Amino acid sequence: MVAAPDASSLEERLVWIFGSPRSGSTWLLRLLIHPWGLDNSREGIDRSRFRPAGGNVLPVNESYLPMHLAPLRESTVASIEVGGGRLLLNDQRAADPAYFFSDAYRGTWEEGTRRLVLERFAAQARDAGAEHGIDDPLMLIKEPNGSHAADVVARLLPRSRIVFLLRDGRDVVDSMLEADSPGGWRTRNDGVLAITTAEDRLSAVRRQAHLWLIRTIAVERACEAIGPDRWIRVRYEDLLADTEGELTRLDEWLGLERSPAGRQRAVRANRFNSLRNRIRGRRNGVRAASPGLWRTNMSQPEQEALNELIGPKLAELGYPL
């Protein structure tokens, strides 16, 4: 019989995949949990009868916990100076004792929130244990949309670990604009209003560039807070160029006991050209897997706005301008 997970010991088995949307986080999660797949079941695991049993790992495909802990002030983000604070509702209201997560009452809400989070994840781990025979699993929590609050999560759960998935912000912005264009997957599936004019596109470029920068800075702060042994950085471009090599590095760091043959199967099953046509292309979530498309897809004014907003951070991270 599989032992029930202990909430107090679960924290060290939590691994957050932070970065930014459109950085390959779903692809990375699929690579790490193969031969299992993702679904919307209670445990998040698609265990097809045509697949062998997976490893001792449990995927969490966006819990949205960080977005509840620290809502992003997206409506005004374009007018806020990045790095100057007040980017999150928590920043704006921290000194207001009426705010639930105010600093004045941190001593009462922080530990209780921490217990709530751990008990919630432990319950999901118990379900996975009963259904799939997983004993004290490693929980891989994909949170690109909540990465603006990565430092909040790191403070709350300092013994957890972080995979910092980094992608060139210009490609991230380009991919988001494509998703929000007429016929794009967000306009079709998520009810997002399509961007149709050059003025709206330039405004969207600035907004998405701010969001990429906010998320990147927050993840950097989170990594600094938890210490060098508890985080690892993976560049999307490196993962694309040498998927097996990067996956080997991640497997070793995470302690996943997969064989080289098992990793090769994961890479083959999840490479872009092997994905079903219905989930590939500009009208779907999986787009092109081609870094640098921003150079041809974006106008000169849009590229200049990108360089102004995120150029210094890109250079700091080693991306050529």
- Closest to 33 in 3D by CA, of 60, 70, 69: 60
Q: Is the pLDDT of residue 4 over 60?
A: no
pLDDT-based confidence at 289, cuts 50/70/90?
Answer: low
Place of tokens 């102004």: 308
- Region 66-73: mean pLDDT is 89
pLDDT at 84: 45
- Whole-model pTM: value is 0.88
Average pLDDT, the chain: 86
Q: Is the pLDDT of residue 64 over 70?
A: yes
More confident residue, 236 or 53: 236
Count of Cβ atoms closer than 10 Å to residue 158 Cβ? 14
Map residue 10 onto helix, strand or coil.
Answer: helix
- Region 273-285: mean pLDDT is 48
pLDDT at 91: 79
Tell me: the pLDDT tens digits for 16-38?
999 999 999 999 999 999 988 88
**Residue pair 59/33 in contact by the 8 Å Cβ criterion:** yes
The structure tokens listed for 128 are 């996975």
Q: Is the pLDDT of residue 198 over 90?
A: no
Domains of the chain: 7-316 (3.40.50.300)
pLDDT at 191: 66
User: At a CB cut-off of 8 Å and minimum separation 6, what does 51 contact?
Assistant: 35, 36, 37
How far is it, in rounded angstroms, from Cα 279 to Cα 87? Answer: 34
Instruction: Find residue 37's DSSP bridge partners.
Output: 46
46-55, 143-152, 197-206, 235-244: range with lowest mean pLDDT: 46-55
pLDDT at 217: 93
How far is it, in rounded angstroms, from Cα 193 to Cα 118? Answer: 37
pLDDT at 212: 94
pLDDT at 131: 83
- Closest to 291 in 3D by CA, of 158, 172, 130, 185: 172
How far is it, in rounded angstroms, from Cα 190 to Cα 66? Answer: 20
How far is it, in rounded angstroms, from Cα 305 to Cα 203? Answer: 10
Cα–Cα distance list, 88 to 19, 70, 212, 214, 222 (Å): 17, 6, 14, 10, 15
Q: Is the pLDDT of residue 1 over 90?
A: no
Tell me: the pLDDT tens digits for 79-121?
444 444 456 788 788 899 999 999 999 999 999 999 999 999 9
How far is it, in rounded angstroms, from Cα 168 to Cα 84? Answer: 23
Cα–Cα distance list, 92 to 80, 85, 232 (Å): 12, 8, 31
